[in-house]
Structure 1
Amino acid sequence: MGYLSTDKKKITAKTFVEMKNAGEKITMLTAYDFTTAGIIDQAGIDGILIGDSASNVMAGNENTIPITVDQMIYHAKAVAKACKHCLVICDMPFGSYQVSREEGIRNAIRIIKESGADAVKMEGGEEIADTVKGIIDAGIPVMGHLGLTPQSVHKFGGYGLRAKQEAEAQKLLKDAKILDEVGCFGITLEKVPAALAAEVTKSVKAATIGIGAGHDTDGQILVYADALGMTQGFKPKFLRHFAQVAEVMNNGVQEYIKTVKESTFPSDEESY
């Protein structure tokens, strides 16, 4: 199990780079609450992302754009309290770093101070590089995010595969190298061709974390509700269900309803 068996210390951003260099795959899932994060951390995950996907998973929004810094801090604070071992990374939501470098640094500092997260994640490449550098210079580890960037869904016109064409692929590779040069410890690659993700992985010192980007990245991430079969009606090509939690919960709730209706719960042993 690599770091899980050889190093019991808290995983840091530096650990991710060390794992890349050692050829050890990095495992990540999202989480948005204390209870779920505690279970995932205890299972031995390397990193938990408090994704702005909380906008979809927790709030039922159509995309990630509406979620605010305050809401991200609320979720990240709950997750950070639960995590004893894994690296905790918080997404910087749309609008929190696009206006100016200073505002981006200010919001990153606030997220880390108020949530207890270990690092932040930001979408974009060359256009945000100066802000990323400023946040890193302020002492905050940053993970980049390239490819399908959900905060730019209106610009791209949907959630399709990115960097299929040569020009976009070359820009993504350039952006990855720029993020690497300014000091990102990791770069998420979302929904890009596997061959391109492999090329990026070889071209940067940062650890690459794939989602819909093939198996040659340094690690993988999924939304926990998707990976555990909780999300209804969502099954893109890159997603594998590792459990059927929705089915288990549904059966449990039905059993609870049945026993209450039949007056078999609570039993005499369960009563005071």
Structure 2
Amino acid sequence: MSVHSEIKRRSVPELMAYKGNKKIVCLTAYSAPIARLIDPAVDLILVGDSTAMVGYGMRDTLSITLQQMTDHGAAVVNATQQACVVIDMPFGSYQVSPQQAFENAAFMLAHSGATAVKIEGGVALAETTRFMVERGIPVLAHVGLMPQYVNTMGGFKAQGMNETAAERIVADALAHQEAGAFAVVIEGVAESLGRRITETLRIPTIGIGASPACDGQVLVTEDILGLSGDRIPRFAKNFGDAASVIRDAAQQYAHEVRDGSFPAMEHCFGVKKTK
């Protein structure tokens, strides 16, 4: 008889129960060192396809591959113990059909150890959400400003700024709820719309540039650490200056290498320590 090990990570049902009770804290991570540091503080870690831009310097999120996302997911899972880990499905890996989405999501979860996947899309992708959920893959939906739709949206522009657009996004969120999504990310929408969707849905909403009323918030970790350069998105806030710490450490290292003070004998092998 097999014995199931105790699951310490926050689970999907646990996060769903946060609705109306407590806020979901979410940050992104793409590497083991960052994931290890943020794990004790957050409920959910999103291995976002934003790693294309943040980690690889790409101009958008469209070029990251399924294998890359899976590998980053594994790094985050291996370095953490508490947070629920969700991986973004990259562009082109789920839009062809629900069957394609399931096969690729199953690969990502099996080879990374993550708990769930996130997909971007409106009503048209709700059936894909349903197909995956019915087959055991938890889905976090993403509506509003959807970076994978950057070309059809004409750039990274706020969404839902008129009544017609707002109604469409409400319909998108409702469709994914009814399809079985455990939560919905709402990005880059009018504040009143983010609030309205949160009040309408039975499942949690996680905002990024949406509304304080959302059931949780997510930001790119590099944005809150001052590691994203001079331009910080309007919806983000710098909570620390890791950039200056890294810059100063690199400068001090360079100085000591150049003046010969590093490495010292204490950093070498085969050298007897002196009292």
TM-score under structure 2 length normalisation: 0.93
The equivalent position to 1:34 in structure 2, one of 19, 32, 35, is 32
Contact 2:20 2:215 survives alignment (8 Å)? no
Q: In the alignment, does 2:229 pair up with 1:232? A: yes
Q: In the alignment, does 2:93 pair up with 1:96? A: yes
The equivalent position to 1:221 in structure 2, one of 215, 218, 221, is 218
Partner of 1:20: 19
User: Which moved further from structure 2: 136-145 or 228-237?
Assistant: 228-237
Instruction: Please give the secondary structure, in 2, of the residue aligned with 1:19.
Output: coil
RMSD: 1.2
Q: CA deviation at 1:14?
A: 1.1
The equivalent position to 1:183 in structure 2, one of 180, 185, 203, is 180
The equivalent position to 1:197 in structure 2, one of 190, 194, 199, is 194
Q: CA deviation at 1:237?
A: 1.4
Aligned partners of 1:25 and 1:100: how far apart in 2?
34
The equivalent position to 2:73 in structure 1, one of 51, 72, 76, is 76
Q: In the alignment, does 2:173 pair up with 1:163? A: no
Q: CA deviation at 1:126?
A: 0.7
Contact 2:52 2:61 survives alignment (8 Å)? yes
Instruction: Please give the secondary structure, in 1, of the residue aligned with 2:236.
Output: coil
Instruction: Please give the secondary structure, in 1, of the residue aligned with 2:87.
Output: strand
Aligned partners of 2:209 and 2:198: how far apart in 1?
14
Instruction: State the one-letter code of the partner of 1:178.
Output: A
Deviations along 1:229-270, one digit per CA (max 9) or x if unpaired, are 101122121110011111110011001111111222223433
Q: CA deviation at 1:36?
A: 1.3
- Residue pairs, 1:103-142, within 5 angstroms: 103-142=100-139
Which of the two has greater helix per residue? 1
Partner of 2:251: 254
Q: CA deviation at 1:21?
A: 3.3
Deviations along 1:78-135, one digit per CA (max 9) or x if unpaired, are 1111120001000011101111111111111111111111000000121011111010
Partner of 2:4: none
Contact 1:17 1:205 survives alignment (8 Å)? no
TM-score under structure 1 length normalisation: 0.94
Aligned partners of 1:10 and 1:99: how far apart in 2?
32
Instruction: Please give the secondary structure, in 1, of the residue aligned with 2:226.
Output: coil
Aligned partners of 1:59 and 1:242: how far apart in 2?
23
Deviations along 1:167-216, one digit per CA (max 9) or x if unpaired, are 01001111111111111111001011111111101111111111111211
Instruction: Please give the secondary structure, in 1, of the residue aligned with 2:19.
Output: helix
Aligned partners of 1:100 and 1:265: how far apart in 2?
57
Contact 1:226 1:234 survives alignment (8 Å)? no
Q: Number of paired residues?
A: 263
Instruction: Please give the secondary structure, in 2, of the residue aligned with 1:79.
Output: helix
- Residue pairs, 1:26-65, within 5 angstroms: 26-42=24-40, 44-65=41-62
Instruction: Please give the secondary structure, in 1, of the residue aligned with 2:118.
Output: strand
Gapped runs of 5+ residues in structure 1? 1-7
Aligned partners of 2:161 and 2:185: how far apart in 1?
17
Question: Percent of counterpart pairs with the same letter?
Answer: 38
Misfit runs of 4+, over 4 Å = none
Contact 1:228 1:242 survives alignment (8 Å)? yes
Partner of 1:207: 204
